[in-house]
A = this chain, B = another copy of it.
């Protein structure tokens, strides 16, 4: 079997975002498209990054992405804006949405055409312009991943674009940015990190290189997510969760994900709900379903999460892992059902049809039928 692994250059630490300007200079860029969202702008992080560009005598043009689940239109407007401003490089700053828009705009800048043409695996033919992604939410892992997720509103689905070209040149992760997140967002994005780590660890495409990242992300989340939700100013916890997010990102970028994300993409294409919350609700249900596919892996997760098992066999330890995930979600006040998360009158059948074709379903460790998905959604509602 051939294992492939790809990662961007990573700059991680307090005030790392001050290095954005000099990093673009190193990449030979001159006029930067800055893709940001209003929340990050209001928190003052966009200004800090722009200050760094100015210090390096770079010019720039700002484009704001403003919705939770960005659409094709958002990307097309951004590409048009970039052309008007003759940008030669792309900076994304924010959570997964802003970064995915930034990456998708970068595709159109050098490849042209419509973003729908790049849905699926390895459809990008020309190298992207220099890209730097500054992550401020510690959840999506988009700053290190080969993925971009964009909503197709006509088809009411999330398109998954997967390509090595989407790994940015440089990922900048500054744990200070996590101090402006509220506890709800910290909880949702933290459980998204755990979902990334667990799905990539049990993925059929897991490798020793993704395993070490996934295991460490789980350990850090087990230890630091609760204190990170509890306090905005606990820098030790913020640093640990930023590291966990990045490591989980490296794991899933290379091992891909599973049924949680396939279903979550289907739901997110239909309803304007939090990706992290949906994942965290689906996670224990999918773990229960997947347990028989890889009992030894779920047992290992139980040990990593310090779960107390009723027996010493793999299945008992795996069940304890699921219980540990539920307890963690409970402790940090995450919603328990899709209904709690705001889902109304779900069309189970349609969502199952979309989920089963999602790129993330391919690597789920257990075979999944339409009926399985509908049942999982009903269980989680």
Which residues in A have some Cβ–Cβ distance to B below 8 Å? 1-7, 9-16, 19, 164, 207-209, 212-213, 215-216, 243, 247
Query: CB-CB < 8 A to A19: which residues of B?
Result: 2
Cβ A212 vs Cβ B208 within 8 A: no
Query: CB-CB < 8 A to A164: which residues of B?
Result: 9
Query: CB-CB < 8 A to A15: which residues of B?
Result: 2
Q: Nearest residue in B to A244 (C-beta to C-beta)? A: B208
Q: Which residue in B3, B4, B7, B16 is a CB contact (below 8 Å) of A2?
A: B16
Inter-chain CA distance A13–B13, complex, in Å, is 33
Minimum CB–CB distance for A28 against chain B, Å: 8
Query: CB-CB < 8 A to A4: which residues of B?
Result: 9-12
Q: Can you spell out 24 A-B residue pairs with CB atoms less than 8 angstroms apart? A: A1-B14, A2-B11, A2-B14, A2-B15, A2-B19, A3-B12, A3-B13, A4-B9, A4-B10, A4-B11, A4-B12, A5-B9, A5-B10, A6-B10, A7-B7, A9-B164, A10-B209, A12-B207, A12-B209, A208-B216, A209-B247, A212-B213, A212-B216, A212-B247
Inter-chain CA distance A164–B215, complex, in Å, is 27
Inter-chain CA distance A2–B173, complex, in Å, is 10
Cβ A12 vs Cβ B2 within 8 A: yes
9 nearest A-B residue pairs (beta carbon): A2-B13, A5-B10, A3-B12, A212-B212, A6-B9, A212-B216, A7-B7, A3-B13, A208-B243
Stoichiometry, copies per complex: 2
Query: CB-CB < 8 A to A14: which residues of B?
Result: 1-2
Minimum CB–CB distance for A253 against chain B, Å: 12
Minimum CB–CB distance for A173 against chain B, Å: 9
Minimum CB–CB distance for A221 against chain B, Å: 13
Cβ A10 vs Cβ B2 within 8 A: no
Minimum CB–CB distance for A228 against chain B, Å: 16
Q: Nearest residue in B to A16 (C-beta to C-beta)? A: B2
Q: Nearest residue in B to A212 (C-beta to C-beta)? A: B212
Query: CB-CB < 8 A to A1: which residues of B?
Result: 13-14
Inter-chain CA distance A70–B19, complex, in Å, is 36
Cβ A10 vs Cβ B3 within 8 A: yes
Inter-chain CA distance A88–B12, complex, in Å, is 34
Query: CB-CB < 8 A to A212: which residues of B?
Result: 212-213, 215-216, 247
Given contacts A3-B11, A209-B243, 4 further A-B contacts (CB under 8 A): A4-B11, A5-B12, A10-B209, A212-B247
Q: Which of A2, A16, A215, A247 has the most CB atoms of chain B within a 10 A radius of its CB? A: A2
Inter-chain CA distance A213–B7, complex, in Å, is 14
Query: CB-CB < 8 A to A216: which residues of B?
Result: 208, 212
Inter-chain CA distance A44–B10, complex, in Å, is 37
Minimum CB–CB distance for A207 against chain B, Å: 8
Query: CB-CB < 8 A to A3: which residues of B?
Result: 10-13
Query: CB-CB < 8 A to A16: which residues of B?
Result: 2
Query: CB-CB < 8 A to A7: which residues of B?
Result: 5, 7
Q: Nearest residue in B to A13 (C-beta to C-beta)? A: B2
Inter-chain CA distance A14–B12, complex, in Å, is 34
Inter-chain CA distance A7–B247, complex, in Å, is 14
Query: CB-CB < 8 A to A209: which residues of B?
Result: 10, 12, 243, 247
Minimum CB–CB distance for A235 against chain B, Å: 12
Q: Nearest residue in B to A127 (C-beta to C-beta)? A: B28
Query: CB-CB < 8 A to A11: which residues of B?
Result: 2-4
Query: CB-CB < 8 A to A10: which residues of B?
Result: 3-6, 209
Inter-chain CA distance A287–B3, complex, in Å, is 34
Q: Nearest residue in B to A211 (C-beta to C-beta)? A: B216
Inter-chain CA distance A151–B190, complex, in Å, is 49
Inter-chain CA distance A12–B207, complex, in Å, is 10
